[in-house]
A = this chain, B = another copy of it.
Amino acid sequence: MNERLKFEIQAESGAARVGVLETTHSALETPVFMPVGTAGVVKAMTAGQVEELGAQIILGNTYHLYLRPGLEVLEGAGGLHGFSGWRRSLLTDSGGFQAFSLKKLRKLDDDGVEFRSHLDGSAHVFTPEKVMEIQGVIGSDIAMVLDDCPGMPCEPERLDAALRRSTLWAERAKRCIRPSHQSLFAIGQGGLDIARRLAHLRSLVEIGFDGYALGGLSVGETPPEMHACVREVAPAMPREKPRYLMGVGTPWDLVECVAAGIDMFDCVLPTRTARMGTVYTDDAGGRGRRLSIKRAEVRFDHGPIQEGCECLTCRTVSRAYLRHLYVSNEITGMVLLTLHNLHYYLRLMEEIRRAIRGGTMEELLEAYRRTGTDLAAEPTD
The answer to whether B302 and A77 have CB atoms under 8 Å apart is: yes
With a cutoff of 8 Å between Cβ atoms, the chain B residues found around residue A73 in the complex are 299-300, 320, 324
- Residue among A47, A84, A300, A331 with most chain B CB within 10 A: A331
Specify how many copies of this chain sit in the oligomer: 2
The answer to whether B41 and A76 have CB atoms under 8 Å apart is: no
Q: Is A358 an interface residue (CB 8 A)?
A: no
With a cutoff of 8 Å between Cβ atoms, the chain B residues found around residue A76 in the complex are 300, 302, 320
**Cβ-neighbour of A331 out of B72, B321, B327, B335 (below 8 A):** B335
**Cβ-neighbour of A72 out of B300, B317, B327 (below 8 A):** B300
The answer to whether B83 and A330 have CB atoms under 8 Å apart is: no
The answer to whether B45 and A318 have CB atoms under 8 Å apart is: no
Chain A at the B interface: SS class: helix
Q: Is A43 an interface residue (CB 8 A)?
A: yes
The answer to whether A328 and B68 have CB atoms under 8 Å apart is: yes
With a cutoff of 8 Å between Cβ atoms, the chain B residues found around residue A85 in the complex are 316-317, 321
**Cβ-neighbour of A46 out of B39, B42, B83, B332 (below 8 A):** B332
The answer to whether A324 and B39 have CB atoms under 8 Å apart is: yes
With a cutoff of 8 Å between Cβ atoms, the chain B residues found around residue A318 in the complex are 77, 83
The answer to whether A84 and B317 have CB atoms under 8 Å apart is: yes
In A66-95, the 8 Å CB interface with B consists of: 68-69, 72-73, 76-77, 83-85
Q: Is A204 an interface residue (CB 8 A)?
A: no
The answer to whether A327 and B68 have CB atoms under 8 Å apart is: yes
Taken residue by residue from 150 to 185, chain A's Cβ proximity to chain B (1 for < 8 Å, 0 otherwise) reads as 000000000000000000000000000000000000
In A291-322, the 8 Å CB interface with B consists of: 299-300, 302, 312, 316-318, 320-321
Within the complex, the shortest CB–CB distance from A39 to chain B, in Å, comes to 5
With contacts A69-B299, A77-B318, A84-B317 taken as known, whether A331 is within 8 angstroms of B44 at the C-beta atoms is yes
14 A–B pairs (Cβ distance < 8 Å), ordered by A: A39-B324, A42-B332, A44-B332, A47-B316, A47-B317, A48-B312, A69-B320, A73-B300, A73-B320, A77-B302, A77-B318, A83-B324, A275-B331, A335-B335
Interface residues of A (CB under 8 A from B): 39-48, 68-69, 72-73, 76-77, 83-85, 275, 299-300, 302, 312, 316-318, 320-321, 324-325, 327-328, 330-332, 334-336
